[in-house]
Amino acid sequence: MSGLEATSSSLDVKAEVRRANAFLAEKPPTTGAGTSDLSIDEELNLHSIGWEPVELVSGLSVFSTPAGLWNWGQGEIVMAGEAHQRAFVSASQRLHNEAAKVGAHGVVGVHVERQVYSTHIEISLLGTAVRPVGAKPVDASGVFVSDLSARDFTLLMVAGWQPLGLASGASFVYAPRRNVGTALQQKSQNVELTNYTEAMYSARETAMERMQRDAIALKGDGVVEVKLVEGPMRFAGHAVGFAVWGTVVRLTKESHHSVAPLKVVSLNDTDVAFDTAALA
Amino acid sequence: MSDVTSDLPQATGHRLEELEKGLFTSDLSVNEFLLIKEVGFHPVGFVMGSSIYHTGIQTRKWGQSLELTKLTEAMYNARELAMTRMEEEAAELGADGVVGVRLTVNYYDWGKDAAEFIAVGTAVTAEDGVSRLNKLGKPFTSDLSGQDFWTLLQTGYFPQGLVMGTCVYHIAHRGIGQTLGTTGQNVELPNFTQALYEARELAMTRMQDEATQLGATGIVGVRLEEKSHQWGSHTIEFLSLGTAVLKTSGDVTLAKPVTIITLDG
């Protein structure tokens, strides 16, 4: 572990980053056990379909947004949506590269963390690289990335589906202010605020469409476990943001394989009424 | 209950077109996805409807318990708008129904009287090609999860629609005389009890009426929510929500559940 000596008291950040990069670059594809954040159950699940965890990999990207972007304007805040998209793409590109470097075929259980600040957008991805036991390395473009847990990944593979990658989309839109006259007039009425509704819709549709475009580009059949985050930002009361992401999947066997669930009654104390472990 | 405008905002057009070409999107977990495939359905798209609504003002009498019809109407109207838009998206995709519907209310800084009502869910179609539209000729809706949907179908019942009832109620304050009179005593406060009962009954009855309209024989998974939203402590909304179901297949022999002890922590 030549790259990890104790750091001196005055920390030189740039040197640290260079050292970390060099360390990653030198590293040959691992052959033995690596680190992973999988539970024992998940590891066993993976092995049951002939896959193994390789290494914990991560990708991070920060994109800046111009000052004053969030407060005044009309329609979509194009630059914010773009920054989000590019941050997501480059973070996942880094994840692909790291995974390929350690000889993995895919990354599962990716935690997606996103932060939107008034000055920058930050996307961080962290997951466990996996591969079929003893498989040869593939190049970065052949690696899949998925936010499904290892258990979900196993289930999908058993049913004949394969994850292809993450699809994401985001859009930020100004919510137009009502003028004083309209606001006063509507004070005591039950009315739909159509201008806000339309702003919300446009953010949502644009974001969803961007995600779908990603999915189509990956030649997927569909997107599962779509997560959505929406609402105004703390620092910009008159803008709404909408972000979605999910795992693109494709049916790889000739037909969907039935998983035939069993009805079980768990004797655990928890109030989980339906235990999915029985499906595996 | 409401006169709903039937046009989806324009922006939806393109996204739905893409979905019609065969790509599906869904917020189902992998478990739910597989279970829905298991009972012969296929997800077609993540559908949603939303409406940002300004709630009017209604004066309340300090010492009087009564329903605030204007507010009730607003809550109904806004939810109907969101639900109808979601159903329209599903219908546009040729779906038979929508599962895993979540109906939520968000408040924004734009104004404290305005709230966003959102309905989201996953539209599904039957793989056997037999239409599962409900009595009103619309896609069925249900707030059941994929797991619950699978389990429900095992019992021979089929969801018909998400039904709801709501009632915004003002509960009278007690007079000073009354308050003083009961200080130091164990006593039921009949005016409070009565008011809460009435509000709850109104909401439940409205939900049942919706189910009857759908020709359903029961409602499962009913949730009763009490919220004050932003109206202050003496004004409460009772909302009851559930999935109306109808028995569609004859006798079903239910498999005996297997008892297990999981090895998970």
Q: What is the pLDDT of residues A85-105, one digit of tens each?
A: 999 999 999 999 999 999 999
- Closest Cα in chain B, distance from residue A267 (Å): 5
pLDDT score at A131: 92
Strand order in the sheet with B41-54: A191-192, B41-54, B114-126, B97-107, B140-141
Nearest Cα residue in chain B from A235: B109
Angle CA B119–B121–B126, to nearest 5:
140
How far is C-alpha B75 from the geometric centre of its chain's CA atoms? 12
Nearest-neighbour CA in chain B from A172: distance (Å):
14
Q: Does A40 touch chain B (CB under 8 A)?
A: no
Terminal C-alpha separation, chain B = 49
- For the record, the structure tokens of A70 come out as 């969030």
B9 pLDDT higher than 80: no
Of B12, B22, B260, the CB nearest to A266: B260
Q: What is the pLDDT of residue A253?
A: 82
Mean pLDDT of A250-278: 71
> Which of B46, B53, B257 is opposite residue A193, by nearest beta carbon?
B53
The phi and psi torsions of B200 (rounded to 5 degrees) equal -65, -45
Kindly list the structural domains of chain A, giving each domain's residue range(s) and its CATH number in brackets, ordered by start: 32-255 (3.30.110.70)
Of the two residues B9 and A206, the one the predictor is more confident about is A206
* Contact call for B264 and A277, based on CB within 8 A: yes
Query: Between A148 and A272, where is the model more confident?
Result: A148
CATH level 3 topology of B12-247: Translation Initiation Factor IF3 (3.30.110)
**Contact by Cβ (8 Å): B79, B162:** no
pLDDT of residue B135: 86
A13 at the B interface (CB within 8 A)? Answer: no
Report pLDDT for A4. Answer: 45
Bigger pLDDT: A212 or B107?
A212
Q: Tell me the β-bridge partners of A113.
A: A124
Mutate to test the interface with B, among A146, A197, A245, A275 (most CBs of B within 10 A): A197
Please tell me what DSSP assigns to residue B194. H
The closest of B43, B19, B48 to B32, measured between CA atoms, is: B43
Q: What is the DSSP string of A237-277?
A: EEEEEEEEEEEEEEE-SSSPPP--PPPEEE-SSS---S-GG
Say how far residue B92 (Cα) sits from the centre of its chain. Answer: 21
At B16, the pLDDT band (50, 70, 90 cuts) reads confident
pLDDT of residue B112: 65
Q: A16 - beta bridge partners?
A: none
Cross-chain residue pair A197–B78, CB shorter than 8 Å: no
Helix axes B12-20, A194-217, angle to 10 degrees: 30
Candidates A189, A268, A279; nearest CB to B56: A189
Q: Where are the beta strands (DSSP E) in chain A?
A: 51-64, 106-116, 120-132, 144-145, 161-174, 191-192, 222-233, 236-251, 264-266
The structural domains of chain B, with segments of one domain joined by +, span 12-247
Mean model confidence pLDDT for chain A: 83
Least confident of A230-234, A255-259, B31-35, B119-123: A230-234
Q: What pairing do the DSSP bridges indicate for beta strands A120-132 and A106-116?
A: antiparallel
Among the ranges given (A261-270, B54-63, B130-139), the one the predictor scored with the smallest mean pLDDT: A261-270
Of A221, A240, A278, the CB nearest to B260: A278
Min mean pLDDT across A127-141, B7-21, B77-91 is at B7-21
> Quick check: B155 and B252 in contact, CB under 8 A?
yes
Q: Nearest chain A residue to B73 by CA: give it.
A: A190
Contacts for A21-24: CB closer than 8 Å, 24+ residues apart = A24/A98, A24/A101
Distance from CA of B59 to the nearest CA of A (A): 10
A110 at B interface, C-beta within 8 A? no
Q: Chain A residue with minimal CA distance to B254?
A: A263
Q: CB B249: neighbour CB atoms within 10 A? A: 10
Quickly tell me which residue has 């961007």 as its tokens. Answer: A210
B31–A221: do the CB atoms touch at under 8 Å?
Answer: no
Task: Suggest the residue from A186, A196, A257 to mutate for an interface test with chain B (most B CBs closer than 10 A).
Answer: A196
> What would the pLDDT profile of A158-170 be if each residue is shown by its tens digit?
999 999 999 999 9
For the entire predicted model, the pTM comes to 0.80
Please tell me the predicted confidence (pLDDT) of residue B243. 95
| pLDDT score at A280 | 44
Mean pLDDT of B160-182: 86
Contacts of A183 in chain B (CB under 8 A): 111
B28, A231: Cβ pair inside 8 Å? no
Instruction: Report d(CA A175, CA B13) in Å as an integer.
Output: 21
Q: Is A223 on the interface with B (CB under 8 A)?
A: yes
The minimum CA-CA distance between A130 and chain B, rounded to whole Å, is 19
- Integer-rounded Cα radius of gyration of chain B: 22
Q: How far apart are the first and last CA of chain A?
A: 39
Query: Is residue B33 within 8 Å of residue A222, measured between CB atoms?
Result: no
Which residue of chain B has the CA closest to A230? B106
Does ipTM exceed 0.90? no
pLDDT per residue as tens digits for the range B69-121: 888 888 889 999 999 999 999 998 899 999 999 998 887 666 667 788 899 99
Q: Give me the pLDDT at residue B5, please.
A: 44
Q: Mean pLDDT throughout B143-156?
A: 90
pLDDT of residue A222: 92
DSSP structure class, residue A76: B
Does the CB of A250 have a partner CB in chain B at under 8 Å? Answer: no
Tell me what pLDDT residue A210 has: 92
Q: Is the sign of the CA dihedral A62, A229, A97, B25 positive or negative?
A: negative
CB contact residues (below 8 A), chain A span 155-194, against chain B: 155-156, 159, 175, 183, 186-193
Please give the radius of gyration of chain A, using alpha carbons only, rounded to the nearest integer. Answer: 23
Residues of B in contact with A211 (CB under 8 A): 25
Q: What are phi and psi of B63, to 5 degrees?
A: -105, 25
**Nearest CB neighbour to B54, from listed A189, A198, A275:** A189
Task: With CB atoms and an 8 Å threshold, state whether A246 touches B25.
Answer: yes
User: B14 vs A187: CB contact, 8 Å cut-off?
Assistant: no
| Position B144 pLDDT exceeds 80 | yes
